Amino acid sequence: MYRSQTCQNHSPGSDEAAIPTCKDMSELVTDYLDGALPWSTRQKARLHLLLCHACRQYFDQMRRTVRFLAGAPRQAPPPEVEQDVLDSIAAHPHSDGG
C-alpha cells in the first residue's frame, strides 16, 4: 500500500494552522471523501494533497475502493452466520475497563 512512503514536502507541525501531516490525512480520508470536513480543514487537506504524492495516491485508491464497493451487489449472509457471530460475542464478553 502507498502509506509506507513518507511525505517529503512538509514537516509536521503542532500549530493548529499548519497543514495536516500524513498521519492526520489517513484519519481524515473518510470524512474528506464524504464531504464531511469543515471548510478550513478541507482546504488544509487539499493543500496537503497538492504537496504530497503518497497521500494523493492513497486518497485516489480509497476513492476507487469506495466507488467499487458502492456498485457491488449486496448479498445477505447465510442464516448460520448471525448465530455464529452471536455465539462468538457471548464467548468473548467485552470489558469497558470499569
Q: Which helix (H) or strand (E) holds 50?
A: helix 39-51
For 34-59, how does the pLDDT look when each residue is reduced to its tens digit (9 = 90+)?
Answer: 999 999 999 999 999 999 999 999 99
Four-residue CA torsion sign, 45, 46, 48, 54? positive
Q: What is the pTM of this model?
A: 0.62
Q: List C-alpha distances in Å: 68 to 61, 62, 75, 83.
A: 11, 10, 15, 29
- Whether residue 78 has pLDDT greater than 60: yes
CB atoms within 10 A of CB 28: 20
Least confident of 12-16, 76-80, 84-88: 12-16
pLDDT of res. 76: 86
Residue bearing the bigger pLDDT, 1 or 61: 61
What pLDDT sits at residue 33?
A: 95
What is d(CA 8, CA 58) in angstroms, rounded to the nearest whole number? 15
Cβ atoms within 10 Å of 19's Cβ, excluding its own: 21
pLDDT tens for residues 8-43? 545 444 455 788 999 999 999 999 999 999 999 999
- The cell for 65 is 475502493
